[in-house]
Structure 1
């Protein structure tokens, strides 16, 4: 060791280096927003870690660190941190009532291991006990605590129920709306955890405290144990009470019971009849899977597929989540010394040995800087491809692939997990290479099926109601987002008119659509019919209802009539009284405080066409329509607020609620059946065209085969090579599906966005052999197709392997074609300068 330049040698001490810890399994990747749920890791060499931590970060926020993990050599228990949302924008925070996805990593004393993604569900909401004193009277030794969303991402072991300062109620049942636990035989000490006592009747009772992860809630007190008192009073009081009961009360009770049973039987028959009608209705819906996409297809025939192009594709596939983008313009000025440095730097990168040594040095010096590593790899890829060095890029890549395999073989890592993430510069570079060299294939064979898949999902979802507050939809493939409440809705045909009152567009909306939803459907139809080349922003226009009397009404989601029983009811087409054949018009957004009656001549299609193409980022957030925090659209609407409470027993009410939820599953089947031709089209593109595979990708797969034979060790070489190919394929296509909504200039839908992300997850799951419990797999629409998809992957890789090996001349020609594809799209000098500034302090002896 060196102290102020003086070296000190400790001869009696030595350092011993052990292989890095290995994670073999993660028991779950879900949590609640407040965190505190334990994630169990199984693996090897965990006892070498001094400070193991779990780190959760989203794409736009800082990481959220948790407390240290605890465990043994082969087991680690890590409490999840709270979701890192302290800098999330207001509009994203409004969407937090749904599932939020974040990156999951583990920090083992600076050694960062990628855990994939973690889903954050809303925090459970517990309810206080009823009554003014909040006392729960138990007669059977059981305690029931009710709430909302209690079992989201949670199990019985995640919930503790404390009684007073020293008691525990053992939890044995956890359902979506109730936690049940067994009370102890003896009453715990009275009061709260800290010993303070309750007031009034609760003074001698223990307080109930629920610990659910980091969520802490006290619903009240529990009374379940007999109290001690004067034995004479205990005898006299029952006698005084029992005598009149035996004489008078039985007759009253008998009459009341008879009438109550009659009423219960009547209501039960009505409930059964209603359930039967709902079942028949929803079963009939499953058979109706027709989907009309003629408008979307017509636009493609006229305008072509609205694919974003080279620059946006590279930005999404290579720079997603890195906080920057590739430069497309040259720098305005550069000093002579900097220009000389860049020339020397680029000369080093063009030498294969120098390039590989450069990457190796960076891998050692950028430990723990995952995002910076990925950025370096992406800038390297752009630098070579845009400058026509694809052949050199491919040659370097094959050497890096061999380095990764050799390192895994020597450290005895699992060979089949290689190339599954981008935690190193080399692996990220391989992922980037794959994305660039698959671009031409995607553009020729993939963009049309991908575009039509998105349009199919969007069209089917919009055939049913979508709650604008919760995001729950009548037609969806997410079980957690199913609109399980029975909604009475009908289609409405409305006409959009121009300044002369002439109809130029006939539209179909739902009577339960909000004004914003109706505007969105009209704007989408105008875009599909090529009235405008780019999608228009919904907040740039207003919708006006033109009545037969000539009177015009500005339609707004929330107005003075929206307040109902302390809630803000969002207006719908039905609430305005709009019917079939009603006339509406689009006008430019008026941000004034008052609205003046419109002259029809002001409402013209030309006015609409002249609207500036507006994006959400260009409009101040204060001007965007924002539902109130207590706003209600479909779930918990007026019908539910005013509906009389069922007289069925509690257990039957609970059974009915669960039945309603499961009865909504046919909506998922309808959605899946209606879009299945388009999903099949995607898998056709991914796995049914092995003869069209780009030659450089075929060359990479051949390299995998050769290296597997050389380094596979005890495993079967064919299995290792096959797994590496599947990892690269699933990573690429999952990234394509995840970024699909941004690949096209088109109107978007939150439901459709979530679907393609779920489909990307299904594709990744299909590449593994992960099995789920029946209750979990029932809610995943494509889980049963995983074996078929795995077989399609295997067959595809087998067919590619059987093709003749790529000759050097054809490989060079194919690489040159990729360089021509991206030539002139990016600024070579600006991206090289960015790369140099990132790495100039880490190039020991490589650049003069």
Structure 2
């Protein structure tokens, strides 16, 4: 008995439902009334071809099957396919039908095919990332109503996860690294020192240093940190979430209309809330106790001890020195000799000694 299958979203799988006494495959038969028996297949004489050579697989709606219909599995006749038991089993083992909407499906039904034809689809002409036809241009606008409904339902499914994620990364607590507080205070002090009164400038500094540089990269590329596979479909979905987070950190108000991208319209109602979360995050960090230079140095020293042996600091130091210090050595020495605090610490002389040591020269000659 089949229940709840009157929808056009129910796809027919016409092979590998089971095996009869001879070991070969069975297929679906719709039994309607006393003498009404009809074999259901993905493709048969009733399949309607479309333009440009496309063919849509048969659905239960195509056959007019209603809810609570009586279905049965009947053996596939040998003379129809001229296949022996071994060949039939081999063919059925090669069936690779997909159960998701719009995904490519195999041709193991009543129509024989040695490989999946690119011009056959279920509901929409969508090429899955694992499909042999993934090089074909996607026609996502084949049925806009279906995609709109799917988009809204998907958004509703992931909404709580997106909200929880934003709340987690935009809530300062005891796990917040001291470097974040120290850096944000540095930006505030730099704005006061240079007379920058526009709060949007400081907000842009902070956004580009942490949320947009780190979190957006993590959202778009979870495989950088986690051992997960990111297929093109997931990648496009993550890009929408990353773009939403970028818009939340933006200081520009975007006016949306009917011609705006669907990904921006999707979270348009949530954007004021997300923007408020970002600004509240910065304000909460500003209200935290200050992190002194000594506290920052102690924290960095603790990190160095915690990861001792995991990183080879010598090559990293040499790369930093040769790619930056050596290139701008003259300008660095000049600045260290002019700055009063650097002069009091004799930083120019110390850097000169380091340069002599790296070049293999005695420091007494420097």
TM bin, normalised by shorter chain, reads 0.5 to 0.7
Deviation per residue, 1:788-810 (Å, 9 max, x gap): 21111111111110111013443
Asked if the contact 1:699–1:805 (Cα under 8 Å) also holds between the matched residues in 2, the reply is: yes
Could you tell me how far apart the structure 2 residues matched to 1:783 and 1:596 are? 56
Give the TM-score, by structure 2 length.
0.52
Q: Sort the Cα spacing of 1:597 and 1:832 in 2 relative to 1 into closer, same or farther, 3 A.
A: farther
Name the CA distance, whole Å, in 2 between partners of 1:570 and 1:817. Answer: 63
Measured after TM superposition, the shift of residue 824 of structure 1 is: 3.5
Unaligned runs of 5+ in 1: 1-486, 491-510, 516-543, 554-559, 583-594, 603-624, 638-657
User: Could you tell me which residue of structure 2 aligns to residue 813 of structure 1?
Assistant: 298
Instruction: Check the 8 A contact 2:222/2:228 in 1, yes or no.
Output: no
| Aligned match for 1:786, one of 241, 266, 271 | 271
> Which of 190, 197, 200 in structure 2 is aligned with 1:707?
190
Q: 1:730 matched to which residue of 2?
A: 211
Q: Which residue of 2 aligns with 1:740?
A: 222
Instruction: Call closer, same or farther: CA 1:564–1:748 in 2, change over 3 Å.
Output: farther
- The number of residues matched between the two structures is 249
Q: CA deviation at 1:774?
A: 1.1
Equivalent residue number for residue 246 of structure 2: 764
Identify if the C-alpha distance between structure 1 residues 568 and 546 changes in structure 2 by more than 3 Å, giving closer, same or farther.
farther
TM-fit CA distance, 1:548: 4.1
Q: Does residue 283 of structure 2 align to residue 798 of structure 1? A: yes
| Alpha-carbon displacement from aligned partner over 1:425-463 (angstroms, at most 9, x marks no partner) | xxxxxxxxxxxxxxxxxxxxxxxxxxxxxxxxxxxxxxx
CA distance in structure 1 between the aligned counterparts of 2:239 and 2:200, rounded to whole angstroms: 28
- 1:136-194 CA distance string (max 9 Å, x none): xxxxxxxxxxxxxxxxxxxxxxxxxxxxxxxxxxxxxxxxxxxxxxxxxxxxxxxxxxx
- Offset of residue 598 of structure 1: 5.7
Contact 1:766 1:786 in 2 (8 A): yes
User: Which residue, 181, 186, 207 being the options, matches 1:698?
Assistant: 181
Distance 1:778 1:746, change over 3 A: closer
- Measure the CA separation in 1 of the matches of 2:324 and 2:148: 53
Residues 364-418 of structure 1 deviation map (CA, whole Å, 9 limit, x = unaligned): xxxxxxxxxxxxxxxxxxxxxxxxxxxxxxxxxxxxxxxxxxxxxxxxxxxxxxx
- Aligned residue in 2 for 1:751: 233
Q: 1:703 to 1:670 in 2, by over 3 A?
A: same
Shift of 1:735: 1.0
Alignment CA distance shift 1:836-1:668 (3 Å): same
Structure 2: distance between partners of 1:722 and 1:634? 46
RMSD across aligned positions (CA): 4.9
Q: 1:547 aligns with which of 19, 27, 35?
A: 19
Using the alignment, how far apart are the partners of 2:314 and 2:324 within structure 1?
A: 15
Q: Are 1:634 and 2:119 counterparts?
A: no
Rounded to whole Å, the distance in 1 between the matches of 2:231 and 2:59 is 20
CA distance in 1, matches of 2:308, 2:53: 58
Deviation of the 1:489 alpha carbon: 1.6
Rate the CA distance shift 1:633–1:573 in 2: closer, same or farther, 3 A: closer
Tell me by how many angstroms 1:815 deviates: 1.6
Distance 2:309 2:244 in 1: 37
* Contact 1:512–1:572 under 8 Å retained in 2: yes
Residue 142 of structure 2 is aligned to residue 669 of structure 1: no
Per-residue CA deviations over 1:653-680 (Å, capped at 9, x if unaligned) read: xxxxx9x635753432222222221111
User: 1:831 deviation in Å?
Assistant: 5.6
Q: Tell me the SS of whatever aligns to 1:775.
A: coil
Alpha-carbon distance between aligned partners in 2 of 1:662 and 1:551, rounded to the nearest angstrom = 43
Answer whether contact 2:48 2:56 (CA < 8 A) is retained. no
Deviation at 1:820, TM superposition (A): 4.4
Map residues 48-197 of structure 1 onto 2, 5 A cutoff.
none
Secondary structure of the residue that 1:811 maps to in structure 2?
Answer: helix
Inter-partner Cα distance in structure 1 for 2:222 and 2:288: 31
Q: Which runs of 5+ in 2 are unaligned?
A: 1-6, 26-42, 63-69, 74-85, 94-113, 127-140, 331-354, 360-366
Change in 2 beyond 3 A, CA 1:785/1:839: same
Asked whether the equivalents of residues 513 and 573 of structure 1 are also in contact (C-alpha less than 8 Å), the reply is no
> CA contact under 8 A between 1:690 and 1:799: conserved in structure 2?
no
SS at 1:783's partner residue? coil
Is the 8 Å Cα contact of residues 552 and 598 (structure 1) preserved in structure 2? yes
Q: Contact 1:734–1:764 at 8 Å: present in 2 too?
A: yes
Equivalent-residue separation in structure 1 for 2:324 and 2:72 (angstroms): 65
Once the two structures are TM-superposed, the CA of residue 564 in structure 1 deviates from its matched residue by 8.8
| Structure showing the higher strand proportion among its residues | 1
Q: CA deviation at 1:687?
A: 1.2
SS in 2 for 1:634: coil
Which residue number in structure 2 is paired with residue 414 of structure 1?
A: none
CA distance in 2, matches of 1:571, 1:836: 64
Contact kept in structure 2, 1:514 and 1:572, CA below 8 Å: no
Task: Give the direction of change, closer, same or farther, for the CA distance of 1:572–1:711 in structure 2 (3 Å limit).
Answer: farther
Query: For 1:682 and 1:808, how far apart are their aligned partners in 2?
Result: 31
Please state how far the C-alpha of 1:819 moved relative to its aligned partner: 2.9
Q: Is the 8 A contact 1:704 1:724 kept in 2?
A: yes
**2:9 paired with 1:489:** yes
Note if contact 1:701-1:801 (Cα within 8 Å) is conserved in structure 2. Answer: yes
Q: How far 1:760 sits from its partner (Å)?
A: 0.6
Output the CA distance in 1 between the equivalents of 2:58 and 2:261.
34
Given that 1:741 and 1:753 are in contact with CA atoms closer than 8 Å, whether structure 2 keeps it comes out as no
Secondary structure class of the residue paired with 1:774: coil
Instruction: Give the conservation status (yes or no) of the 8 Å contact 2:12–2:59.
Output: yes
